Structure 1
Amino acid sequence: MIVPNPAVLQQAVDRYLALATDGHMAVAVPVQNAAYTLCVLTGTRTVEEAMAAVRLLRSPSPSHRRQTFTVSSGETAPGERELVS
């Protein structure tokens, strides 16, 4: 997994939280953009998953911060890969 720069990640979290608490319709698109940025940085699909990933990345335990994946040798459909941790 590619680990984002902690400063960039913190900046993205701060921006999302600041916009999400506003509640005005005028910030709907910026909130979506900030959520998208968080998802891209953390490799997730939802804000909830992104925030969970942020908590794991901030975790003091190195085993929680790094996961390695390999492609299994089992049978999969053509063009698919099965990820095994």
Structure 2
Amino acid sequence: MIVPNPAVLQQAVDRYLALAADGEMAVAVPLQNAAYTLCVLTGTRTVEEAMAAVRLLDSPGASRGRRTATVTSGSSGESAPGERELVS
């Protein structure tokens, strides 16, 4: 399973919760976008499932079994500027 970067996930959760607390119609589209982002980050289909996944990822044993791999485009195995690190 690919595990999202904890800082990115926390930002997405914070944004969703802030928009959800607003209750204004003006934030309807940004709220949908924030919900979609959470679902993509957690591999779920609903906000409820996403928040449950966030709680599981925050649990004490969640970091066990995580591997870090660097995505590279060259054959040298070294990462170049702009390449990203994946956690799985």
TM bucket normalised to smaller: 0.7 to 0.9
CA contact (8 A) 1:43 1:50 kept: yes
Aligned-partner residue type, residue 5 of structure 2: N
TM-score, structure 2 length as denominator? 0.70
1:45 aligned partner: 45
Aligned-partner residue type, residue 18 of structure 2: A
1:30 aligned partner: 30
Q: How far has the Cα of 1:61 moved from its partner?
A: 1.7
Query: Helix, strand or coil: the match of 2:22?
Result: coil
Runs of 4+ in 1 over 6 A off after TM superposition: 63-66
Gaps of 5+ in 2: 67-88
Greater share of residues in helix: 1
Deviations along 1:17-42, whole A, 9 cap, x unmatched? 00000000000000000000000000
Q: How far has the Cα of 1:63 moved from its partner?
A: 8.1
TM-score, structure 1 length as denominator? 0.72
Gaps of 5+ in 1: 67-85
The count of corresponding residues between Structure 1 and Structure 2 is 66
Q: In 2 relative to 1, CA 50–64 (structure 1 residues): closer, same or farther, beyond 3 Å? A: farther
How much is the aligned-residue C-alpha RMSD, in angstroms? Answer: 1.9
Name the % identity: 88
1:60 aligned partner: 60
CA contact (8 A) 1:19 1:27 kept: yes
